[in-house]
Amino acid sequence: MSAERKDAVAVARRRELGAFLRARRERTGPAEVGLPGSARRRTPGLRREELAVLAGVSTTWYAYLEQGRDVRPSDQVLAAIADTLRLTGEERAHLRTLADGAAGQRYAVTREGPLPSAVETVAPEVAAVPALVAPAPAYVTGATTDVLVWNEPAAELFPGLIHRPDTDRPNLARWVFLDPEARQVLVDWETVAQSVLARLRTNAGRHPGDERFTRLAAELRAGSAAADAWWPRYDIATHRTGSKRVRHPSRGELILGHAAFTVAGAPEQVLVVYSLHGDVPAPGPELL
């Protein structure tokens, strides 16, 4: 990696860490941390100086951290900030990943090497799996929610996602937010959409400055008011098992369970396999 690129990557990582902290600070109300509220507050959430006091750091130092300056928080300081912001386990893990990247440390999904290919590929052994699990619908998604490979039952279940005349590579986030048909297929569209965007935002945070994410985020935000409103919230999510409701063109409303499996050696590629549920459950946090 050239010195110029290394400097650019370091700056992008520090900015991403600052953006995540700012988003979490702005969603944390004073009452959540035992502070009195005030009608005169001009910004949502905690003020920087309030968070700094609660975390035991100087206001100036914390401001530098949010501004993306070259400061190196210790593990103890990160833990204090995470405690103050009431971060979940997933959010703490993401904070740790961003902090490691900002400090120049290598981590699993952002390597100091060649720029990633604009077209993500899947290993032949992985590409064969969806056909093996048929007739259960199954597909593999990539880092930017591209659908890399799928089987025919999945194509039948999500025809508008898989069979698209405008692209050779289906994309889950693009379909959910930009195709009106998705709102008809997905009974709990808003919950699904928030979950899909949160996973995309999580991956984008691990690849600051990566044009694959920058272009897709700009497209989603330009074409969807919901995506534009939710992207700055910097919600964090990973794949889990769950359930969802879909409207099938010939079979009516179906209740589906799904299991997600991370691909060994490619941690941002996920195999998703669906199965029918007998009863209608409450919509879960992970629906696609």
Domain 124-276, CATH class in plain words: alpha beta
**Quick one: how far is CA 88 from the chain centroid?**
15
**Measured distance CA(96)–CA(20) in Å, rounded:** 11
Per-residue burial over 133-142, b if 16 or more Cβ lie within 10 Å, else e, is eeebbbbbbb
Residue type present at position 241: T
Domain boundaries, the chain: 3-102, 124-276
Phi, psi for residue 254 in degrees, rounded to 5: -120, 145
The domain 3-102 is placed in CATH, from the list 2.30.30.90, 1.10.260.40, 3.40.50.800, 1.10.3720.10, at 1.10.260.40
Residue 168, SS3 per DSSP? coil
Q: Print pLDDT tens along the chain (288 aa).
A: 566 777 787 888 899 999 999 999 999 988 888 887 666 667 778 999 999 999 999 999 999 999 999 888 999 999 999 999 999 999 999 999 999 877 655 443 443 444 455 678 999 999 999 999 999 999 999 999 999 999 999 999 998 899 877 667 899 999 999 999 999 999 999 999 999 999 999 999 999 889 999 999 999 999 999 999 999 999 998 877 888 899 987 888 999 999 999 999 898 999 999 998 644 444 444 446
Find out whether 195 and 237 touch, Cβ atoms under 8 Å: yes
